[in-house]
Amino acid sequence: MKNIIENIKQHYKTLSIAVGIGIVLGVLFTLIFSSPNQSINTSTHQNTNTSTHQHEQEEPTTWTCSMHPQIKQEKPGDCPICGMDLIPLEKANSGDDNIDPDEIMLTESAAKLADIQTTMVKKGNPSKTIFLQGKVEADERNIAELTARFGGRLEKLFVNFTGERVQKGQKLATIYSPELVTAQRELLEAVSLKENRPQIYKAAKAKLKLWDLSDAQISAIEEKGEPKLYFDILAPINGTVMKRHVAVGDYVKMGDPLFKVVNLSTVWVMFDAYEADLPWIEKGDNVEFAVEALPGKTFEAKVSFIDPFINPQVRTAKVRVEIRNPEDKLKPGMFVSGTLHSTIAAKSNQLLIPKSSILWTGKRSVVYVKIPERESPSFLYREIELGPEAGNFYVVASGLDEGEEIATNGVFKIDAAAQLEGKRSMMNPKGEKVSTGHDHDDMQMGSADEGKTKKTYTLPEDYSAPDAFQQQLTVVYHEYIDMKDAFVASDTQKVSNEAGQVKKVLDEVDMGLLDGDAHMKWMDHLEILNRTIETISKSGDLEEQRKTFSEFNLAFYKAVKTFGLEGVKTHYQYCPMANRDQGAYWFSNEEEIKNPYFGESMLKCGENREVFE
């Protein structure tokens, strides 16, 4: 035991000596290889450590998510929304005093994942193609209305039916008039006084002329020396009898209508143009049109007149073109579909921006302008004033300058980031702070003064839906299009029947194909879809069906936006006058507007808002 204790003491003694030698060697190494400017003053070293420590406290590292920049934490971890690893927040341009407090900065990775795309604002010649609907009408300048110049009885009719072709000067009817016989007798008596009292003769002759007798007829009466009992009514123009107001044996009074004759060698096509399209139409513009009754044949004519008045019921103005019709193929009342390519555009050079770059909210139009010379993509909220629509572009009236760069894709995501950071945005123009949560489907914004909370829908992140689910949702979409077409036709019974078909295929969608958040999201949409489609199918009131249809479309849009369709290109369209001027949306396979909320009465009212491919 004593030997063991001695061995331990000897071991520690050797170890202590080794440690001491190591310390001495370390100090010598520092003195030899340290910089001449360095000092080993203990107090200086302590001050440096203290200063560094304080600096770290003043600027701690902030961690954020590349897909959700509103998430900011003081330590690394996972994003509470998507589960991605948090990354250090980049301090871009920290020394720049010109940074706007409303600037939205995105990391390079976030901009790439959000598919942010930009374009330069340039000047160009705006162009617009306008789709018009109208009818063939008779040229009002070629219409003759024949009325009775004197009272009498119709003894003969030489035109027996409406639509008969007549030539100028052709007999239409023969009339017996006691008043005319009396006036002729007065003329014959006045002939004997022609030399002594010429005023009486002239008055009697003028009376007959006022009753549409020619000088030749009056001379024949004078030569014959007795009144003519029957007089012929002659066609004043070449044309077609449009109306026959009398029959054989009818007694007519002065001013009564007899015949209406119209010359159809030239006809008018009267188109309905919505007030939003009127700035793009002017006299002389070329219009190409087709007639439903003449398939495969197209016509061309120039705009000859634009009605200066708007119809207050349908908010349209008449646009007229004239066209020759030598073979009478164009008949009044035929429906016509036309296309006008605006020529006003060729006379202007204006600022143009794509529709996809614009966010609309009430009276304001918003774009996001990219800030130049920034290390990371940065954007700034900008309210602008728009001019007329020009195809896929809008003319900029004010608010932007040529050469500025604006976001054209991912604009909603930039705006959502601005909202969550409490900066100026589409729904928050004053830049007030809003409360945020982990659910991006619903964003709560409230006012203590109102005592209640408003619920505003923002577009959700796309879920990865299985192909089988997308196929089933696409079947629902095709049945939906049939229902929409029934609304366009204003056929209440067909709407009910097609809504029943939508309900049937909607029930066949297998929600078991979805799981997690995607499953819950579909359940939220399905509740509204089922309730509204059942109301549409059971209602016999077209107005109630259309009102419910607008609610159905909002839920269906969210479903399509979230899960997608397979092999379908669809246009999401909007009419501001639908749903009692509250506005309403619908889907269509065609870019051409066919309004399901008004049907034929306002068929072209609306615009394309979004395209899904």
How does pLDDT run across 209-218, given as a tens digit for each residue?
888 777 888 8
CA Rg value for the chain: 43
Rounded CA-CA distance 558/368 in Å is 24
Domains of the chain from N-terminus onward: 60-90 (no CATH), 111-126+348-434 (2.40.420.20), 133-138+264-340 (2.40.30.170), 140-262 (2.40.50.100), 467-612 (no CATH)
* Angle (deg, nearest 10), helices 516-538 and 492-507: 150
What are 406's strand-pairing partners?
Answer: 119, 369
Which helix or strand (DSSP H or E) is residue 492 part of?
helix 492-507
* More reliable by pLDDT, 314 or 91: 314
Specify the pLDDT at position 93.
44
Write the pLDDT tens digit of every residue in 379-421: 999 999 888 777 788 888 888 998 999 999 988 888 888 877 7
In terms of phi and psi (left: phi > 0; alpha: psi -120 to 50; beta: otherwise), the region of 535 is alpha
Q: How confident is the model at residue 29 (pLDDT cuts 50, 70, 90)?
A: very low
Q: For residues 446, 448, 449 and 455, what is the CA-based torsion angle, rounded to 10 degrees? A: 20
Write the pLDDT tens digit of every residue in 461-517: 445 678 888 899 999 999 999 999 999 999 999 999 999 999 999 989 888 888 777
What are 359's strand-pairing partners?
Answer: 366
Q: How confident is the model at residue 450 (pLDDT cuts 50, 70, 90)?
A: very low
Q: Does position 70 have pLDDT exceeding 80, yes or no? A: no
Q: Is there a contact between 84 and 71 (Cβ–Cβ < 8 Å)?
A: no
Q: How confident is the model at residue 609 (pLDDT cuts 50, 70, 90)?
A: confident
Q: How confident is the model at residue 14 (pLDDT cuts 50, 70, 90)?
A: very low
* More reliable by pLDDT, 327 or 301: 301
Rounded CA-CA distance 268/308 in Å is 17
Cα-flanking dihedrals φ and ψ of residue 605, to 5°? Answer: -75, 120
* Angle (deg, nearest 10), helices 542-563 and 516-538: 160
Q: For residues 296, 301, 305 and 310, what is the CA-based torsion angle, rounded to 10 degrees? A: 30
Q: Is there a contact between 102 and 366 (Cβ–Cβ < 8 Å)?
A: no
Specify the pLDDT at position 3.
46
Write the pLDDT tens digit of every residue in 159-188: 888 888 999 888 899 999 888 888 888 888
Rounded CA-CA distance 498/483 in Å is 5
Distant-in-sequence, close-in-space partners of 479: CB < 8 Å, separation ≥ 6: 498, 501, 502, 504, 505
Write the pLDDT tens digit of every residue in 513-561: 887 778 788 888 888 999 999 999 998 899 999 999 999 999 999 888 8
Q: Is there a contact between 332 and 127 (Cβ–Cβ < 8 Å)?
A: no
Average model confidence (pLDDT) for the chain?
79
* More reliable by pLDDT, 609 or 88: 609
Q: How confident is the model at residue 109 (pLDDT cuts 50, 70, 90)?
A: confident
Helix (H, G, I), strand (E, B) or coil at 291: strand
Q: How confident is the model at residue 137 (pLDDT cuts 50, 70, 90)?
A: very high
Specify the pLDDT at position 497.
92
Specify the pLDDT at position 113.
78
Helices (H), 214-303: 215-224
In this structure, the number of other CB atoms found within 10 A of the CB of residue 470 comes to 17
